[in-house]
Chains A and B, each alone.
Chain A
Amino acid sequence: MSAAKSHLEVLPRSVQAVLLVALVALAAVPFVASDFYAQMVARMMILAIFAMSLDLLQGVTGLVSLGHAAFFGIGGYVLSLVSSDAGAVSLWWTLPAAVAVSALFAFVIGFFVVRTHGIYFIMVTMAFAQMLFYLVFDNKELALAGLKLRLGGSDGIYINFKPDASFFDLENKTVFYYFTLACLLAVYAFLRRLLWSPFGRTLAGIRVNEHRMRALGYGTFGYKLAAFTLAGALAGLAGYLWGAQTGFVNPELMGFHMSAHAIMMVILGGMGNFAGAIAGAFAFEWLLHVFKDLPQVGGFDAGKHWQLWIGIFIVLIVAFAPRGLLGVVARIGRSKEDAGG
């Protein structure tokens, strides 16, 4: 199966310029935007990390996972499991723990799923994610090796304190915002660096032609498993941040809709370069916000039926603009350069 579609791995000048402007805008948000919007942008940044982690699989390696939210959810649930009602837990060990546990789950699940191809991969990743979804959905508490794990069942579970970072105060919304922005930049820089490393080039080679890579002597199973594990770990990071920001985790974080939204974000922005995933996450979340805010029209509550609009939007994007937003920006940039000589 070819997930490849107009990859913009090397970002054109026009896109780089847009990214720089976007970074300045993001840094300015807590000063210019209301509290509500600053929180919304922080949430968008967290989802952007999640979308980038999926892009490593989907855009770079050509593996379309319909179960990626499982690892996002695990990151959030690890935070809720180690949190206590008495006070804050230290960021410095809980964050690595969430990432490590997500990576471990991704490694085990990856062992089963990366041996499948194409449509099987899509179905199997979804089935494994659902398994974890129902594990949490059906169990308020789980006894495991003498430990009592509080999962909260279908109601979800509250996290009363943000993690304690000792040097800075994450309970302060502005500090949390910049911490999230720092994570976003770190993950982006890491993945961009990875993209051009021998490992990243091998993954890209697998996307284009796995048989050829195997014929060249690459153990593609190991590379795909490594990519799956790394993507799971980064999704876990995003999930941890989500849990810390919203102070709440529920099974929906692992659900099939969350996974599909991540795919949509990556497609919407443009695959395989991570900048597209960021743009897609922002655009998709903004759209959800707009659709949920639609007014009452006569006897018809347009905002209540936001899922109808998002559904129609998805169908239209797939039908008419499968190259994503960055593709559009790059095209406009290119035509301007042409016009200017």
Chain B
Amino acid sequence: MDFANFLIQLLNSVQYGLLLFMLAAGLTLIFGIMGVVNLAHGSFYMLGAYLAWWLSSSTGSLVLAIVLGAVLAAVFGLVLERLLFRHFYHRDHLDQVLLTFGLIYVFEELRSILWGDDVHGVTIPDALSASIPLTDTLSYPVYRLFMSGVCIVLAIGLYVLISRTRLGMRIRAGASNHAMTEALGINVKRIHAVVFAIGVALAAVAGMIAAPIASVYPNMGSQVLIMCFVVVVIGGIGSVRGALVAALLVGAVDTFGKVLLPQVSGMLVYMLMAAVLLWRPEGLFKQ
């Protein structure tokens, strides 16, 4: 592999890793703060992808679709939290697993009823459809850089929100001692709703920006959910920083594995997970 090729694979692995981070961050945040295991998290990714297709074909602008879609997804998250998830915070994990598994079916079918079962493509906007030449023969698509950019901006935003703002302080306080935070006059229930909505919106944005390169198809959520689980297990559940490190690691192993060891590439990330588990059964960054 020459240098330009290596650079392309590296950029791809970072881009895939950052996309996984967007999903895993929401999953691990919802678990870390509310204690809810959400198998339906992949459905929010699917929702995002379908919203991107539906909104961009009706508004004609992908960027507008992403902004609108993020808002819609967050509202959807708020409604879902209020109607359903709120009542399952204190139930055991088994109940949560089953509840959210049932929801996967419900969301899949609602998607099928609303938007059909066809595979859809989303076109990359003209402004982002160019490629940057690396050598005479190799070039890198601008859209993938755009994807990484969106992920980085949102990751920084998430970091600032949680560790530098008043809301973030309350989120952390609510996660470590619910009753005490409540006693200080902070509405923890409302904070939970906000965190849930953020998690849903992150997953949906990941789905929306991935739509043009991954296309939009039924069951796209479950495949991504499993990679999220791998990321969360490697990183340590509840740790957003762990999710970032693990997502980049998984992105690199998966991308380079496909190039260097194509015969076993599908299993490499799972081998990575197994190795980490042997070394640290609680993940790399267990708090």
Binding site for B on A (CB under 8 A): 1-3, 5, 58, 64, 66, 112-113, 115-120, 122-124, 126-128, 130-131, 134-135, 138, 256, 260, 263-264, 267, 305, 307-308, 310-315, 317-319, 322
Binds A, one of B51-59, B165-173, B270-278: B270-278
Chain B, 266-284, CB within 8 A of any chain A CB = 266-267, 270, 273-274, 277-278, 281-283
Contact indicator B106/A312 (Cβ below 8 Å): yes
Contact indicator A315/B102 (Cβ below 8 Å): yes
A126-B229, A130-B270 provided; 17 other pairs, C-beta below 8 A? A1-B93, A3-B94, A66-B97, A112-B277, A119-B93, A122-B97, A124-B277, A126-B226, A131-B270, A260-B98, A305-B113, A307-B105, A308-B110, A308-B113, A311-B108, A315-B84, A318-B99
Does B104 belong to the interface (CB within 8 Å)?
Answer: yes
The chain B residue with its CB closest to the CB of A108 is: B274
Q: In the complex, what's the smallest C-beta–C-beta distance from A64 to chain B, in angstroms?
A: 5
A124 to B105, CA, bound (A): 22
Known contacts A124-B277, A256-B222; decide if A313 and B102 are in contact (CB<8 Å): yes
Q: What would be 13 A-B contacts, judged by CB atoms less than 8 Å apart?
A: A115-B277, A116-B277, A120-B283, A127-B270, A130-B226, A260-B101, A305-B112, A308-B106, A312-B102, A313-B102, A314-B102, A315-B84, A315-B102
Contact indicator B92/A3 (Cβ below 8 Å): yes
Looking at the complex, which one of B87, B106, B233 makes contact with A319 (CB distance below 8 Å)? B87
- 0/1 per residue, B29-71, Cβ < 8 Å to A? 0010000010000000000000000000000000000000000
B interface residues, how many (CB within 8 angstroms): 39
A4 to B215, CA, bound (A): 43
Q: In the complex, what's the smallest C-beta–C-beta distance from A52 to chain B, in angstroms?
A: 17
A131 to B254, CA, bound (A): 13
Looking at the complex, which one of B101, B274, B281 makes contact with A120 (CB distance below 8 Å)? B281
Looking at the complex, which one of A1, A117, A263, A307 makes contact with B98 (CB distance below 8 Å)? A263
Q: What is the interface of chain A mostly: helix, strand, loop, or mixed?
A: helix
Binding site for A on B (CB under 8 A): 31, 37, 84, 87, 92-95, 97-99, 101-106, 108-110, 112-113, 222, 226, 229-230, 232-233, 237, 266-267, 270, 273-274, 277-278, 281-283
Known contacts A64-B94, A112-B278; decide if A307 and B266 are in contact (CB<8 Å): no
Contact indicator B37/A122 (Cβ below 8 Å): yes
Which 8 interchain pairs have the tightest Cβ spacing? A311-B105, A314-B102, A308-B109, A311-B106, A131-B270, A315-B102, A123-B229, A307-B105
